[in-house]
A and B are shown apart, each in its own frame.
Chain A
Amino acid sequence: MIRISPVTFAILYCIAYVAVLAFDAPLFRYYPMESEFSWGAAHDAAKEGPSMAWYGLMASAAVFASIGAAIPVLGKRLLALHTVLWLVPLAATLGCIFLMRNFFI
């Protein structure tokens, strides 16, 4: 039975989310005009209208985090780092804001 550590999942998810956002690597894209999904990060030229990456970005981050969180030792070790544990979600939040800077300059 694989046990997923919630602490490891959260930390790895934060790191993975910023990474997949920075590299534009969603697991899939959604095309709202056609109500269809398309696997992979690349824009599907055969589909009409804009694509949405958000669902795929969360899925990518969740897959990476789930794989890492299945490693049993990581959870306890990470929780033991409680003095700096909070830095990762904070850095992920600031990282996401930083990556959106092009909309404001």
Chain B
Amino acid sequence: MTVFLLILHGLMAVALLGALTHQTIALMRRAAVGKSTFLDRYMSVGQPGFTRAVVVLYVLSLALGAIIYPTYRLDVRIPFEEMGLLWAIGMFEIKEHLGGVGLGILPLYAVLWRAENFSTHGRARIVVTSLLAGIVWLDFIVGHVLNNIRGVGT
């Protein structure tokens, strides 16, 4: 069951990564009108449409991570401690705390993507969206690397 939830957690994270990365890149570089290369089409996406998907995917992904977490604490972290892999424990601690902070950032992110704030809060929107994307990327990579060292369910 835990392995199934871990795979689901990973798949949610992939979808979240895709949505957030797409939105962030589109935000940083406006699409050129009249061009039709792959990159131009990639950047001309309707960015606000991603916001609700990002919020839902983030909450679901975090909830799944929270359900799996006790298994990590007992079956993975204790062996990490015995192996002296403090850096791995530290990386997971960073992952969990940034995940927690990201949850709190979500309401601000959603407000900044509202139509009425679109023309006035450009910098805040860029920084907050990029920060959220950075958190999700870091959490994804750290989770993947640590699972390679000692996976949940091994």
Contacts and interface: CB of A to CB of B under 8 A. Distances in A.
Given A33-B74, A58-B103, A82-B124, A96 B108 contact: no
A50 B66 contact: no
Interface in A82-104: 82-83, 85-86, 89-90, 92-93, 96-97, 99-100, 102-104
Interface string A8-19: 011101100110
A67 interface: no
A52 interface: yes
Interface residues of A, number: 40
Interface of A: 6-7, 9-11, 13-14, 17-18, 21, 30, 32-33, 35, 49-50, 52, 54-55, 57-58, 61-62, 65, 79, 82-83, 85-86, 89-90, 92-93, 96-97, 99-100, 102-104
Contact of A61 (B73, B104, B124): B104
B145 interface: no
B121 A14 contact: no
Nearest to A12: B104
